[in-house]
A and B are shown apart, each in its own frame.
Chain A
């Protein structure tokens, strides 16, 4: 009874915050509510007994996405610089009312249809859970979610790493710079924050490694570990540490593709030996999975950090700004 009440409170809060995120008048309020939405969603994952996703959501929805949005909001709110080019466009003051009416009707129709469909869902206990548990022994890991991610559906994970790589490449393309070496070194932050980051970094690395190690038998794994690692890199940057700016171009590139490459290498070698792509050797499966996960962790961490860092000021921007000041 308590449980269902809690569920209802969670869901009501999700809908309330979701609605306010999208329809509050103030953009900053919307971003704060979005962070809160992520937090409530993480609690919902906990209630739904999906701690793996809760960890991921805590790191992504509540922290990383929040940082991205706050950064973007700050930039989009500030008055743009005029020297870039003469402005040829302006925002439309308001949309025609038939547009608003149409979108409202469309959303309501979709909502009604979806609600009917959900109510009609047969309560059949289907799913692949039993199959996963039956094959868990031979998968090389003891945690079912890791087994699905790395073994049964490893192909999806491989392509997902490709998507991550693409996102960073896309951002670099937009910024018209070839790699993260073109970033200007970070600006120094306050001493208090820097001290905190100094103190907390070992903990971040520890937690990242811990999550990676836990993934073999309990909730955790490459993605969660990677997000924590990436967040740690962003923290370092925000605190003004220059260590990341000193990584060489080759290092950046290799770190970015390491996970994708590891999957590719393992898949190809198993294709050569057994004729099956991404098949694990029964004997060494857990070791292979652990190596893959480590590579993926490094890549995911670098990539997610790259998603934020690639948007920071570039060296050429800085010199441009200095010229403008003079």
Chain B
């Protein structure tokens, strides 16, 4: 087991912790708006750490490029998704202020 492998394991574990945090937040936070935050942590940091850990493991340029591309796309797409959902929640609230 090389030093790279140990770092890889550590980074993956850190990513796992963030995913766990994400899902706990998803379950425990009181409303949809605050659950958005839980989601972003898992998306950006959780996947980021795991991608980084796997990069350390493979050390092959094409694979690393693909992994980083995936991470970048996730960050873009998930922040847009969160924006869209947040916008949707706000509009819903405007349409029907009485409900919930």
Contacts and interface: CB of A to CB of B under 8 A. Distances in A.
Interface of A: 190, 192-193, 196, 199-200, 203
Interface centre among B77, B80, B84 (most CB of A within 10 A): B80
B73 interface: yes
A190 B76 contact: no
A203 B73 contact: yes
Contact of A190 (B69, B73, B77, B87): B87
A196 B87 CA distance: 16
9 cross-chain pairs, A with B, having the tightest CB-CB distances, nearest first = A196-B80, A192-B83, A192-B80, A193-B80, A196-B76, A193-B84, A199-B76, A203-B73, A190-B87
Interface size class of B (residues with CB under 8 A): under 10
Given A192-B80, A193-B80, 8 more contacts: A190-B83, A192-B83, A192-B84, A193-B84, A196-B77, A199-B76, A203-B69, A203-B73
Contact of B84 (A190, A200, A203): A190
15 contacts: A190-B84, A190-B87, A192-B80, A192-B83, A192-B84, A193-B80, A193-B83, A196-B76, A196-B77, A196-B80, A199-B76, A200-B73, A200-B76, A200-B77, A203-B69
B40 to A, nearest CB: 15
Contacts of B83: 190, 192-193
Q: Is the interface of A mostly helix, strand, loop or mixed?
A: helix
Interface of B: 69, 73, 76-77, 80, 83-84, 87
Q: Is the interface of B mostly helix, strand, loop or mixed?
A: helix
Nearest to B66: A210
Contacts of B77: 196, 200
Nearest to B72: A203
A190 to B, nearest CB: 7
A199 B73 CA distance: 10
A168 B67 CA distance: 36
A46 B83 CA distance: 31
A192 B84 CA distance: 8
Contacts of A190: 83-84, 87
A108 to B, nearest CB: 34
Contacts of B73: 200, 203
Nearest to B84: A193
Contacts of B80: 192-193, 196
A203 B69 CA distance: 9
Contacts of A203: 69, 73
Contacts of A192: 80, 83-84
A101 B3 CA distance: 62
A275 to B, nearest CB: 44
A39 to B, nearest CB: 14
A190 B77 CA distance: 14
